[in-house]
């Protein structure tokens, strides 16, 4: 029975060491997953912070676009008002012979330029469009040259041209700011997209961390259970060994006592005792 218990304890010790090794490996793996997860979460925060910066710059440029548009429109309104005055003067003095006014011609030019920028057309069509714009600009130039002889009209024309020039410069700024706003918007979207990817990777890393940690906890519980059983085996084996030792001691004492009684009987019968006989009687407490 003792041999069987010792063998079982040996097997239990092997199992305990295996569970301990598995636990340590899984804890190390869980730490690796946790470190990767934390790095990805930090990366996600960086992407979100960067996206927020681009959002602020986008909104800032969009606000600038709206503000500049207001100023540009005000300049165009002032120019249009002066051109209307000039057109009225020409009508009153018969200066344009039923031709369209400068304001109307300018609107036509603006529309054709917009078509040139936004519409897809072949080379011949684009060349035709450019020729129309040139002809219309020539009409404006002729009308302006015709009416510039009048000092009052000349002054208004100069002011209108200056308003139109300033409005054109502001329009260029509007275009620039709008492009910047779009660039920051695209960068913001890209950052949020990258943040989503790193967040998904972090979530996957956390899932693996939890799985590894739970497996490590299970191995630790098995290790603790093995340790408890080992202590139980040690108690039982120790008890058996102690009992066996006590039994041997009792047998030895009984044998010594029997031998000593024989020697004592011999002593009483008058036989001479040796030194070993005396020591034996002392051990048996007979003298």
Cα 77 to Cα 13, 71, 141, distances in angstroms: 95, 10, 21
pLDDT at 278: 66
| pLDDT band at residue 287 using 50, 70 and 90 as cut-offs | low
Confidence of residue 134 (pLDDT cuts 50, 70, 90): confident
Q: Is 190 exposed, middle or buried (0-12, 13-18, 19+ CB in 10 A)?
A: middle
For range 171-194, the mean pLDDT: 93
The values of phi and psi at residue 65, to 5°, are -60, -45
Most confident of 18-27, 102-111, 143-152, 244-253: 18-27
Query: How high is the pLDDT of residue 154?
Result: 78
State yes or no: pLDDT of 97 exceeds 60: no
- Residue 93 gets which letter from DSSP? T
pLDDT recorded at residue 98 = 41
Would you state the pLDDT for residue 5?
Answer: 83
Between these two residues, 98 and 157, which has the higher pLDDT value?
157
- Interior CA angle at 257 toward 251 and 260, to 5°? 140
Give the tens place of pLDDT for each residue, 152-167. 777 888 898 899 889 8
Burial class (CB in 10 A: 0-12, 13-18, 19+), 241: exposed
Residue 100: helix, strand or coil by DSSP?
coil
Q: Is the pLDDT of residue 56 over 90?
A: yes
Mean pLDDT of 173-200: 94
Residue 3 Rama label (left phi>0; alpha psi -120 to 50; beta): alpha
Cα–Cα distances (Å) from 67 to 55, 62, 72, 81, 144, in that order, read: 18, 9, 9, 21, 32
């Amino acid at each position: 029975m003792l041999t069987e218990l010792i063998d079982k304890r040996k097997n239990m010790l092997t199992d305990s060491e295996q569970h301990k090794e598995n636990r340590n490996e899984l804890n190390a793996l869980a730490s690796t997953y946790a470190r990767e997860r934390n790095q990805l979460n930090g990366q996600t925060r960086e992407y979100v912070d960067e996206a927020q910066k681009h959002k602020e710059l986008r909104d800032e440029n969009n606000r600038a676009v709206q503000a500049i548009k207001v100023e540009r429109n005000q300049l165009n309104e002032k120019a249009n008002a002066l051109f209307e005055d000039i057109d009225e003067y020409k009508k009153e003095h018969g200066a344009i012979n039923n031709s369209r006014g400068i304001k109307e011609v300018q609107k036509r030019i603006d529309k054709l330029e917009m078509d040139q920028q936004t519409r897809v057309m072949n080379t011949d069509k684009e060349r035709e469009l450019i020729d129309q714009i040139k002809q219309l600009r020539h009409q404006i130039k002729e009308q302006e040259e015709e009416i510039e002889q009048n000092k009052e009209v000349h002054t208004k024309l100069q002011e209108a041209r200056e308003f139109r020039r300033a409005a054109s410069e502001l329009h260029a700024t509007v275009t620039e700011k709008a492009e910047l706003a779009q660039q920051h918007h695209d960068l913001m979207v890209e950052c949020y997209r990258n943040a989503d990817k790193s967040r998904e990777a972090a979530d996957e890393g956390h899932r693996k961390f939890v799985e590894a940690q739970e497996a490590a906890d299970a191995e630790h519980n098995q290790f603790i259970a093995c340790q408890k059983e080992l202590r139980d085996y040690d108690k039982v084996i120790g008890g058996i060994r102690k009992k066996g030792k006590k039994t041997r001691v009792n047998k030895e004492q009984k044998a010594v006592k029997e031998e000593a009684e024989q020697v004592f009987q011999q002593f009483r019968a008058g036989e001479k005792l040796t030194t070993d006989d005396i020591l034996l009687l002392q051990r048996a407490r007979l003298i």
